Chain A
Amino acid sequence: MSEDSTAERTRLAEGPRQNRAGAIPPDGVRVWVDSFQRLHLSVGDAQFENVRPVQCFPLSGKTDYVSFLDEDGKEVLLLAHPDHLDKDSRYVLKEALEKMYYVAKITRVDSITETMGVSHWSVMTDRGYAAFEVVDREHIRRLPGRRYMITDADGNRFEIEDTARLDARSQMLVHSET
C-alpha cells in the first residue's frame, strides 16, 4: 500500500503538469542506474528504485511515451517525450530500452523453405547470421510501412524494417511467405 501512496503522491504533486494521458513531461525527471544494475527514477522529490521502462507503442514506432513499472508491474510514472530528458538520463534510458526490445534486423534473406507448415529461414541480420523456424503464419506480423516482425519457434524476434530496402531476391522470398 505504501508504494501506491508514493505513486499517488507523485501524481498529485505533478498534477498540473500531467497531460490528458496522465503523462509527465521530461523536465525534472532523472533516470540513472546503480552498480546493482537497478534503474532509478526521480521526479521532484519522489524517487523510485528498481523500475523498468517499457514502450507504450513498441511496434508502431511512436516513441513519445515510456512507462516505468515497478517490480509488481505497476506503473509508477508515464513519461512523455523521453527524448527531451537530460543527456545522462536519456543515455541510460536508451540503453535500457534497447536491451528490453532486443531485436535482430534482417538485412538479407538467403532462403526460406517450407515443410508442412513450418518455414525455415536463413537470414543475415545486423547481429550476424541466423537460422530460425517459424511455426505459425500469425508469427509473421505485418506492420505499416512494409515492415515485418517475425517471432520464431522459441519466441525470439526478427525484424524486417522495410521490405523495399532488401535486395530483389530477398524480397521475392519474403513475399511468397507473407
Chain B
Amino acid sequence: MDHFADIEMEHPAGGTPLRMLPPDVAAWVHRVLQADEEVACCLYADILPDGGFGERWAFLTNRRLMVLSSDGAPDKAEMPFEMPLRHIEDAAVREYVGSSALLVTGPDRAHEVVRFSRGSHQEASDLCHRLKEAIEKHKAGDEVDRIPPLPPRRVAHRCPHCGRALRRAGDPCIHCSDRRRILVRLFSHVLPYKGYALVGLALTLTMTALAVVPPYLTKVLVDDVIGQNNLSLFAVVVALLTGVYLARAVVTTFRTFTLEWLGNKVLFDLRVHLYDHLQLLPLSYYNQRQTGQIMSRITGDLQRLQYFIAEGFQEILVNITTMIFIASILLLLDPVLFLFALAPVPIIAATTVLFGHHIHLLYHRIWRRMAGLHELLADTIPGIRVVKSFAQEPRESDRFARRSAELFGQEMRAVKLASGFFPFLGLMTGLGSILIFGVGGWRVLQGQTTLGTLIAFTGYLWQFYMPIQQFGRINHRLQHCVTSAERVFEILDSEPEPVQQPDALVLDPVQGEVEFRNVSFSYEPGKYALQDISFKVEAGEMVGLVGPSGAGKSTLVHLLSRFYDVSSGAILIDGHDIRDLAIWPYREQMGVVLQEPYLFHGTIWENIAYANPNASPDEIIAAARAANCHNFIVNMPDGYDTVIGERGQTLSGGERQRVSIARAVLRDPRILILDEATASVDTETEMMIQTAIERLVQNRTTFAIAHRLSTLRKANRLIVLERGRLVEMGTHEDLVHSGGLYSRLCELQSELSKIQAW
C-alpha cells in the first residue's frame, strides 16, 4: 500500500529518523520526548488492533518503546502503549500470511505492540533488532544511554524517489521516467541514420503532395477541357496525370524501401545491443524473471518498435500535413462547400475516439487471454510425458479448449465492435459526400460554382476524412509503442555485472586459497541465506559442503563464483577481496559441474570445447578420457560429431554428467565446484563419475556439494551447514565421532545404504 507518498524522502546519511516523519507526527513525538531522550527507530503500522486499516506509529527511544495513535487528528493523539526498556525481556516480529505484528515480552505477560502490513516489515525487523541489542545490554547490567539512530528504510522494490511499487526489485521506476523522454530516447537510436530518416521524410511529403494533384487536374479536365473543348490543354492534362501517377509509383517504391531499411536497421541494432546486455546482466536479474517474458521482449516488443520507427512517426506527420494541405485547398476551391464538408467531422472524430477506447480494452483482454494460452502451452508441452503417464490427455485437451474458448469469445467481441464500426464510418463519410453532392449540385445549377470544382471537391473529401479517422487510433498505437520501448529500456537500464572495471585486479594464475570472513548473505531483506560464515581453505584442498537442503550450500558456491556479492563480510581469493578481482579472468579459472548439467544443442565436440573453442583434438580426447566418457562417445555412429539434442536430451543423465565433467577438465580450472554431481545417477554410473572426479580434483581447490556422503570420502575437510550457519567443520573422522549433525546424517545414510544393498 502506498502510505509514504507524503513523506519527505531526502535525508542526510545518519540523519535522525524523525526528519522523515509527517510533520504532525514528528511534532507529537517532540512533545512527549523527555530530556536526553532520543528516537532511534520508528515504525509505521497500518493495521489497528481490531484488524481495520488505520495509522499508528511505534517509536523506540533510548528509554522506552511507545506507540502513537492519532487516527488522522493530531490534536487527539494518544499513546495506547508505552513500556520502559528495562521492563522488556524479549521482542519478536511475528509473521503471518498477510500481515505481521511486533510482540514484546514483559515480566508477567507479552504485548502485541502494533500490527502492520508487509510494507513495514523491514523497518519492524530493524527496530526489533535494535531493541534486542538494548535488552542484551540491560541484562548484562550496562546502562543504555544511546541507541544509534536508524533512518527508516524503504524496501528495495519501491522507487527510492517516489515510493511507488516497482515491477521487480531494482527495476527503473516507470513514474520517474518521463514518457516523452522515452520517445526521445527511441529516436536517439535513429540518429546514426538520420540521412535515411530525412530522405524517407522528404519522399513521404512528396508522396502526399503528389496525391493532391490528380483531383485538381480532374477539375481542369471537366471545366477547361471538356467545358471549353480545348484539345491542346487536354493533351497537357493527360500527360500531367500520367506523369503524376508515374512519379507517385517511383516515390512510393523508394519511400517504402528507405523506411523499411531504416526500421529494420534500427531494430537490428537494438536487438544485438539488447542481447549483449542480457549476457552481462547478473544472475539475480534472471532469478526474478520468467524466461518467456525476457524472450518476448527481444522478439515481440522490438517488433512493435520497428513499426513506430519506420511508420508511426511519419504517419503522424503526414496526417497533420495532409489535413492542413487539403483543408486549405478545399477552402480555396469553395468556402461554402467546405463548411458543409466539416459537418460529419465531429461525428467521425467522436466515434473514432470512442471506438479506439473500447477496442483498446478488448485488445488488452485478448492479449491477456493469449498470454494465458501461451503459458498453458509452455507448461504442458514440456510435461507431455507426465500427461501421458497419468493418462490425462483428455483433461489437458479440456483445459486448452476452455482457455481457447475464452479467447474466441473475446476475439468475437472485438470483431463485433470492429465490423459495426467501419461500415458506420463508411456511412458517415458517404453521407458527407451526399451532402456535398446535394449542396454542391444545387450550387452548380445556381451557377455559384463549377462542375469541375464539385468533382475535385468530392475527390479531396476522402483524403480529408482519412487523417481524422487515423488520429483517433494513433494515440493507442503510441501508447503500445511507449510500453514496448519501456520494456526494452528496462533491460538496457538494469545494472550489468561490473565486468569491465579498468582498475580490477587480474590474478593469473589463481593459486586457489579461499577465505570466507564473517560472510552473510540474503536474497531478500531480513532473510539470511548465509549468516556469519568464516573458514579458510588452502590452495589445492578439497572441501565437502554438507547439510540438509536449504542449508545454504548452493548459495555459498554462488558467492564463490561471484554470481552475487556478499551482504556483509568478505570473500578473499589468494588474500584479495573477490570484489576487487576482474570478473572474467577470475571465472575463467573456475570450473563448475552441476547436478543438472546443461548441454547446448550442438555436437559433443562443441559441448566439451565450450569453454575453450580452440582446443586441439588431443586435448578434447584426453579430457573425455579423464571424464570416463570417451568410450561411450566413440561407440556412437558419429563419434565426437554426434549432435546432442536440445539440452542434451539424447544422452542419459550419467552421460550428460560425464560430458560436463570433460568440459570442466578441458578448462583446467584452479577452483572447481561440484554441485551434487552424482545426485541423480545409478550406482555404477556414480562409480564412473566418481573416478572421473577424483582425477579432476587433483591439485585444485575443490568445493563439492553432496547429499551422498560417500562422494566426499576424498575430501580433506567437511563444512557442515544448517540453516545458513556453519555448524561443524573438520575431517570425516573428527565429525563422525563428535556426535553432531554430520554424524547423524552419516548414520541415516548408512541405514539407507543397507537397504539399498539388499
A residues contacting B by CB (< 8 A) are 35-38, 58, 98-104, 115-118, 125, 127-133, 135-137, 152-157, 175-176, 178
A-B contact count (CB 8 A): 104
CB pair A35 B110 closer than 8 Å? yes
CB of B139 closer than 8 Å to a CB of A: no
CB of B167 closer than 8 Å to a CB of A: yes
CB pair A135 B167 closer than 8 Å? yes
B171 to chain A, nearest CB (A): 9
Instruction: Tell me the complex Cα distance, A117–B96, Å.
Output: 28
B306 to chain A, nearest CB (A): 19
CB of B572 closer than 8 Å to a CB of A: no
Smallest CB-CB separation from B164: which chain A residue? A133
Query: A-facing mask of B478-492, CB < 8 A → 1, else 0?
Result: 000011001100000
Smallest CB-CB separation from B112: which chain A residue? A37
Closest 8 CB pairs of A and B: A153-B165, A128-B53, A35-B109, A155-B118, A133-B165, A154-B118, A154-B119, A157-B98
CB pair A101 B1 closer than 8 Å? no
CB of B637 closer than 8 Å to a CB of A: no
Known: A36-B109, A127-B52, A128-B52. A156 touches B364 (CB 8 A): no
Smallest CB-CB separation from A99: which chain B residue? B96
CB pair A136 B1 closer than 8 Å? no
CB of B594 closer than 8 Å to a CB of A: no
Smallest CB-CB separation from B1: which chain A residue? A132
Give chain B residues whose Cβ lies under 8 Å from the Cβ of A157: 97-98
Instruction: Tell me the complex Cα distance, A38–B300, Å.
Output: 54
Query: A-facing mask of B155-172, CB < 8 A → 1, else 0?
Result: 101100000111110000
Instruction: Tell me the complex Cα distance, A154–B487, Å.
Output: 22
B70 to chain A, nearest CB (A): 16
Instruction: Tell me the complex Cα distance, A168–B112, Å.
Output: 40
Smallest CB-CB separation from A96: which chain B residue? B96
CB pair B53 A127 closer than 8 Å? yes
Query: A-facing mask of B335-372, CB < 8 A → 1, else 0?
Result: 00000000000000000000000000100110010010
Smallest CB-CB separation from A98: which chain B residue? B51
CB pair A153 B483 closer than 8 Å? no
Interface size of B by Cβ–Cβ distance < 8 Å?
43
Known: A36-B110, A102-B51. A136 touches B167 (CB 8 A): yes
The CB with the most chain A CB atoms within 10 A, among B101, B108, B117, B119, is that of B117
Instruction: Tell me the complex Cα distance, A22–B155, Å.
Output: 41
Smallest CB-CB separation from B101: which chain A residue? A99
Known: A154-B118, A156-B99. A130 touches B1 (CB 8 A): yes
CB pair B108 A116 closer than 8 Å? no
Instruction: Tell me the complex Cα distance, A136–B158, Å.
Output: 14
A121 to chain B, nearest CB (A): 10
> B53 contacts which of A37, A99, A104, A135 (Cβ < 8 Å)?
A104
CB of B374 closer than 8 Å to a CB of A: no
Known: A58-B97, A117-B167. 10 other contacts (CB 8 A): A36-B110, A38-B110, A101-B96, A102-B96, A103-B97, A137-B371, A152-B118, A153-B158, A157-B98, A176-B365
The CB with the most chain B CB atoms within 10 A, among A128, A137, A153, is that of A153
CB of B103 closer than 8 Å to a CB of A: yes
Smallest CB-CB separation from B165: which chain A residue? A153
Instruction: Tell me the complex Cα distance, A14–B159, Å.
Output: 54
Give chain A residues whose Cβ lies under 8 Å from the Cβ of B97: 58, 100-103, 157
Instruction: Tell me the complex Cα distance, A155–B175, Å.
Output: 21
Smallest CB-CB separation from A37: which chain B residue? B110
Give chain B residues whose Cβ lies under 8 Å from the Cβ of A128: 52-54
CB pair B157 A153 closer than 8 Å? yes
Query: A-facing mask of B639-672, CB < 8 A → 1, else 0?
Result: 0000000000000000000000000000000000
CB pair A116 B483 closer than 8 Å? yes
Give chain A residues whose Cβ lies under 8 Å from the Cβ of B109: 35-37
Instruction: Tell me the complex Cα distance, A128–B48, Å.
Output: 11
In B147-201, which residues have CB < 8 Å from any A CB?
155, 157-158, 164-168, 174-175
Q: 24 A-B residue contacts at CB 8 Å?
A: A100-B96, A101-B97, A102-B47, A102-B97, A102-B99, A115-B174, A116-B487, A118-B165, A127-B47, A128-B53, A128-B54, A133-B165, A135-B167, A153-B157, A153-B158, A153-B165, A154-B117, A154-B118, A154-B155, A154-B157, A155-B118, A156-B99, A156-B119, A157-B97
Instruction: Tell me the complex Cα distance, A4–B59, Å.
Output: 40
The CB with the most chain A CB atoms within 10 A, among B52, B96, B371, is that of B96
> A152 contacts which of B1, B174, B364, B486 (Cβ < 8 Å)?
B1
Give chain B residues whose Cβ lies under 8 Å from the Cβ of A35: 108-110
CB of B142 closer than 8 Å to a CB of A: no
Instruction: Tell me the complex Cα distance, A101–B98, Å.
Output: 6
CB of B503 closer than 8 Å to a CB of A: no
CB of B595 closer than 8 Å to a CB of A: no
Smallest CB-CB separation from A117: which chain B residue? B167
CB of B684 closer than 8 Å to a CB of A: no
A135 to chain B, nearest CB (A): 5
A53 to chain B, nearest CB (A): 11
B39 to chain A, nearest CB (A): 24
Instruction: Tell me the complex Cα distance, A118–B645, Å.
Output: 39
Give chain A residues whose Cβ lies under 8 Å from the Cβ of B53: 104, 125, 127-130
Give chain B residues whose Cβ lies under 8 Å from the Cβ of A154: 1, 117-119, 121, 155, 157, 165
Known: A99-B96, A137-B368, A176-B364. A36 touches B2 (CB 8 A): no
CB of B469 closer than 8 Å to a CB of A: no
The CB with the most chain B CB atoms within 10 A, among A102, A135, A136, is that of A102
CB of B534 closer than 8 Å to a CB of A: no
Give chain B residues whose Cβ lies under 8 Å from the Cβ of A156: 1, 98-99, 117-119
B738 to chain A, nearest CB (A): 16
Instruction: Tell me the complex Cα distance, A58–B96, Å.
Output: 13
CB of B743 closer than 8 Å to a CB of A: no
B304 to chain A, nearest CB (A): 13
Known: A102-B47, A115-B174. A37 touches B103 (CB 8 A): yes
A106 to chain B, nearest CB (A): 13
Smallest CB-CB separation from A100: which chain B residue? B96
CB of B105 closer than 8 Å to a CB of A: yes
CB pair B174 A102 closer than 8 Å? no
> A127 contacts which of B51, B111, B112 (Cβ < 8 Å)?
B51
Instruction: Tell me the complex Cα distance, A116–B175, Å.
Output: 9
Instruction: Tell me the complex Cα distance, A65–B56, Å.
Output: 35
Instruction: Tell me the complex Cα distance, A35–B112, Å.
Output: 11
A11 to chain B, nearest CB (A): 20
CB pair A152 B165 closer than 8 Å? yes
Instruction: Tell me the complex Cα distance, A117–B2, Å.
Output: 17
> A116 contacts which of B118, B174, B361 (Cβ < 8 Å)?
B174
Give chain B residues whose Cβ lies under 8 Å from the Cβ of A178: 368
Query: A-facing mask of B16-35, CB < 8 A → 1, else 0?
Result: 00000000000000000000
Give chain B residues whose Cβ lies under 8 Å from the Cβ of A103: 97-98
Instruction: Tell me the complex Cα distance, A153–B51, Å.
Output: 20
Query: A-facing mask of B71-100, CB < 8 A → 1, else 0?
Result: 000000000000000000000000011110
Give chain B residues whose Cβ lies under 8 Å from the Cβ of A36: 105, 109-110
A23 to chain B, nearest CB (A): 21
A64 to chain B, nearest CB (A): 19
Instruction: Tell me the complex Cα distance, A135–B47, Å.
Output: 22
Smallest CB-CB separation from A134: which chain B residue? B165
Give chain A residues whose Cβ lies under 8 Å from the Cβ of B361: 176
Instruction: Tell me the complex Cα distance, A103–B111, Å.
Output: 22
The CB with the most chain B CB atoms within 10 A, among A38, A128, A178, is that of A128
CB pair B165 A135 closer than 8 Å? yes
CB pair B1 A118 closer than 8 Å? no
Give chain B residues whose Cβ lies under 8 Å from the Cβ of A58: 97
Smallest CB-CB separation from B182: which chain A residue? A116
